[in-house]
């Protein structure tokens, strides 16, 4: 958190009296779960790309370097998710913030709802919700 917390409308000085204040641990856990979901999606993409590279028989060094970058991305996403889950466990129960105000800057409605705790769905990564962005199929 920034040194000047009172300047931020999302911070509640631990009282719970500001807007839609939620426990910091709840918000950290929501972000951790979202990043974990992104890591799992990245895992699936990594498998798909790996199979495509094998089928193509590519030996292009640039492609192989980019594939290694995808592997690093997946590992980092898993690591950040784990880090945030641990922070959520360690956060004092009385620390609160206005996650709804913070999520108001997120363009994807379903994502904003999950991050702010406004979405009651247990499946945080539900691509089937239709509200996580648009898909354009090429044909």
Segment 90-131, tens digit of pLDDT: 999 999 999 999 999 999 999 999 999 987 644 444 443 445
Q: Is residue 97 part of a domain?
A: yes
Question: Does pTM surpass 0.75?
Answer: no
Q: Is residue 124 part of a domain?
A: no
Q: How far apart are CA 45 and CA 65, in angstroms?
A: 16
Give the total number of structural domains in the chain: 1
pLDDT of residue 65: 81
Q: Which domain covers residue 35, as residue numbers?
A: 21-119
Q: How far apart are CA 91 and CA 96, in angstroms?
A: 10
Q: Is residue 137 part of a domain?
A: no
Q: Is residue 104 part of a domain?
A: yes
Give the HSE-up count for residue 54: Cα atoms under 13 Å, Cβ half-sphere: 6
Q: How far apart are CA 127 and CA 125, in angstroms?
A: 6
Q: Is residue 27 part of a domain?
A: yes
Residue 128 neighbours by CB under 8 Å, 6+ apart: none
Q: Is residue 76 part of a domain?
A: yes
Q: Is residue 7 part of a domain?
A: no
Q: Is residue 15 part of a domain?
A: no
Segment 28-71, tens digit of pLDDT: 999 999 999 999 999 999 888 888 877 777 677 777 788 888 88
């Amino acid at each position: 958190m920034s040194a000047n917390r009172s300047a931020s409308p999302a911070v509640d000085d631990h009282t719970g009296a500001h807007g839609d204040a939620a426990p910091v641990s709840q918000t950290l856990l929501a972000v951790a779960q979202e990043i974990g979901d992104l890591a799992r999606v990245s895992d699936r993409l990594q498998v798909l790309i790996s199979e495509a590279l094998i089928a193509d028989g590519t030996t292009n060094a640039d492609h192989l370097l980019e594939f290694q970058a995808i592997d690093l991305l997946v590992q980092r996403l898993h690591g950040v998710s784990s880090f945030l889950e641990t922070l959520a466990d360690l956060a004092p129960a009385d620390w609160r913030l206005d996650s709804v105000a913070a999520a108001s800057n997120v363009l994807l409605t379903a994502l904003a709802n999950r991050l702010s705790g406004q979405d009651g769905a247990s499946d945080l990564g539900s691509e089937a919700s239709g509200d996580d962005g648009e898909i354009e199929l090429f044909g």
